[in-house]
Structure 1
Amino acid sequence: MGTVPDVTDASPAPEPDGLRRTTAVASDGTRLAVQVSGPPPSASPRTPVLLLAGQANSHRWWDGLREDLDVDRTTVTLDWRGTGASDAPDAPYGTPVLAGDAVAVLDALGLGRVDVHGTSMGGRVAQWLAADHPERVRRLVLGCTSPGGPHAAERGPQVRRALADPDPERARAALVDLMVPPSWVAQHGEPTTVLGDPGMTPASRGRHLVCSNRHDAWDALPRIVAPTLVLHGDEDAMAPVANAALLVERVPDARVHVLAGARHAYFLHRRAEAAALVRDFLD
């Protein structure tokens, strides 16, 4: 696809939320909503960074941390298919398909090699992106994620039961507790940006769940050549911290940083620390 210079280079006036918007088209015709912030690549010596959100979430997942990164670099997000302003095709897909969507976004923006920061399901997608398209990834950050498949450390049955509670209020409370500690909620309120896109249809939510659950990049991980930082909270019950060690063992040039006392959305309740770690690694 061609470049979109009025988004990445000309820096038009941003919309009220500070983002510049455009659209990319995936290989199957799915239209993907794209958001860009920070200085254009031509005005910054730093490599643009592609941010990949968690399951059933739009680009809003990155509210907060994005502002810590786009001070001096271009940041790019997309709404996963089925979320936000993107199309919601009625067909199954896996994390490799979503990695192809990410490539379509980079192509639409005329971006070649970028840094990639994926968390949760976005980290699963980032694994395929780095393994299958090594020429597009300079450095890789994998946060609160898993290699998937039979080798992965799975969440416990108590967590699964809590998230599947038929009472929506109890299920939401369980999700909030998995994401951030009560002390953070008491100060900031619910972390609404990481609790799922409220505009998603039940069908799209189901497709995301299947997509994430069927992820298995175990055999692909050794093909990743980008220097990789693995970030994980040691109190993450959604994606147990044992997965961090598995990723470091499989990715050839990987290092790990475990945040003590952090849960799944460590990038929210440990925002300053997480942002500093990412910036230092990408720099």
Structure 2
Amino acid sequence: MNFAAAGDGTELAWTESGSGEPMLLIAGQATAMDGWGPTAELLSRSFRVIRFDHRGIGRSSRGEAGRYTTRLLAADAAAVLDAAGVSSAHVYGHSMGGRIGQWLAIDYPSRVRTLMLAATSGGRSADPALRASPSAMEALVSGDPSRLTPLFFDSEWAADHPEAVHTFFTSRASAWAKARHFKASRDHDAWSELGSIQAPSLILHGTEDPLTPLANAVLLRKHIPGSVLVRVPGAGHGLHLDHPRTIDWIREFIGRKSRRPSPPFRLFRLSTTLGD
């Protein structure tokens, strides 16, 4: 286990595995780095995977209350890259981690080679089509894994991977930190600045996500220049874990963006097939 120093001195725990081009994984709201579980292991076969605990989560210290915003949490992510000796990385963010990834790409464009956004949003909106249902929000606030699991994961996958599900929903965090993570995610609003993102961006979103409806991904694609949206049929909010095909699409996307000139990209055909 390694530790990075954030701008306010907060200690951020991080670890790495694998080799190759660096990839930074940014976990979601109040979720520890261990929650990436099998996804991190599979990605480490192709990349140098770097994971970290957000401030207030897991092995990281909690730091200053005022620094719990998605934009300042992006500065934490940059500090982790500094500690790992990485000038730029592929960045993969899930849920609130995707919100943080947006700011990382906006505020630190030279640090982001490609940007992968899973089950996330550009932020606040008055449009009810972009918001979670009241029942889904009640389940999220409850923190009860038995209520959350159906919102995140396919039932068969969850039954076959109980340890991964348990690890994902179990993170060492105080109520103080969880409340600030929730507020940071809820207050996120990057819609007006997404157009400045320069990194090639891949948006992955489940068609049945009850916490972040698919309409958010459609709007993200419109706001981020040249981005690619892949709708994943039947997937919920945890598609980064229970739909391993997303890992193949990520590898393919990065491989295409690394090649010059680029051949036709199968993801575009797939995205069109799924209704993009």
TM range, normalised to the smaller chain? 0.7 to 0.9
| Amino acid corresponding to residue 158 of structure 1 in structure 2 | S
Are the counterparts in 2 of residues 55 and 196 from structure 1 also a CA contact under 8 Å?
A: no
Identity fraction in percent? 39
Alpha-carbon separation, structure 2, partners of 1:175 and 1:75: 27
Instruction: Let me know the Cα RMSD of the aligned residues.
Output: 1.5
Residue of structure 1 equivalent to 2:70: 95
Residue of structure 1 equivalent to 2:264: none
Q: Is 2:104 aligned against 1:124?
A: no
Q: Is 2:85 aligned against 1:113?
A: no
Alpha-carbon separation, structure 2, partners of 1:172 and 1:70: 27
What secondary structure is seen at the aligned counterpart in 1 of 2:192? Answer: coil
Shift of 1:118: 0.5
Residue of structure 2 equivalent to 1:180: 153
| Inter-CA distance 196–213: structure 2 relative to 1 (3 Å threshold) | farther
Residue of structure 1 equivalent to 2:139: 162
What secondary structure is seen at the aligned counterpart in 2 of 1:150? Answer: coil
Are the counterparts in 1 of residues 15 and 50 from structure 2 also a CA contact under 8 Å?
A: yes
Are the counterparts in 2 of residues 163 and 172 from structure 1 also a CA contact under 8 Å?
A: no
Q: Deviations over 1:65-98 (max 9, x none)?
A: 1111111321111100011110012513200111
Q: Is 2:222 aligned against 1:257?
A: no
Q: Deviations over 1:94-123 (max 9, x none)?
A: 001110001111111211111100010000
Alpha-carbon separation, structure 2, partners of 1:107 and 1:224: 21
Shift of 1:196: 4.4
Are the counterparts in 2 of residues 56 and 196 from structure 1 also a CA contact under 8 Å?
A: no
Residue of structure 1 equivalent to 2:199: 226
Residue of structure 1 equivalent to 2:187: 214
Q: Identify, as 1 or 2, the structure richer in helix.
A: 2
Tell me which stretches of 4 or more aligned residues in structure 1 moved more than 4 Å.
Answer: none
What secondary structure is seen at the aligned counterpart in 1 of 2:54? Answer: coil
Task: Name which of structure 1's ranges 77-86 and 67-76 shifts more when overlaid on structure 2.
Answer: 67-76
Q: Is 2:58 aligned against 1:84?
A: yes
Residue of structure 2 equivalent to 1:241: 214
Alpha-carbon separation, structure 1, partners of 2:94 and 2:88: 19
TM-score under structure 1 normalisation?
0.85
Alpha-carbon separation, structure 2, partners of 1:208 and 1:268: 21
Q: Deviations over 1:217-259 (max 9, x none)?
A: 1111001000100000101101111111010000012010011
Are the counterparts in 2 of residues 96 and 128 from structure 1 also a CA contact under 8 Å?
A: yes
Alpha-carbon separation, structure 2, partners of 1:158 and 1:85: 32
Q: Deviations over 1:103-155 (max 9, x none)?
A: 11111121111110001000000000001111111111000000012266110
Unmatched runs of 5 consecutive residues or more in structure 1: 1-20
| Amino acid corresponding to residue 69 of structure 2 in structure 1 | G
| Inter-CA distance 164–52: structure 2 relative to 1 (3 Å threshold) | closer
Alpha-carbon separation, structure 2, partners of 1:85 and 1:179: 24
Q: Is 2:54 aligned against 1:61?
A: no
| Amino acid corresponding to residue 133 of structure 1 in structure 2 | Y
Alpha-carbon separation, structure 1, partners of 2:251 and 2:167: 22
Are the counterparts in 1 of residues 6 and 75 from structure 2 also a CA contact under 8 Å?
A: yes
What secondary structure is seen at the aligned counterpart in 2 of 1:149? Answer: coil
Unmatched runs of 5 consecutive residues or more in structure 2: 256-276
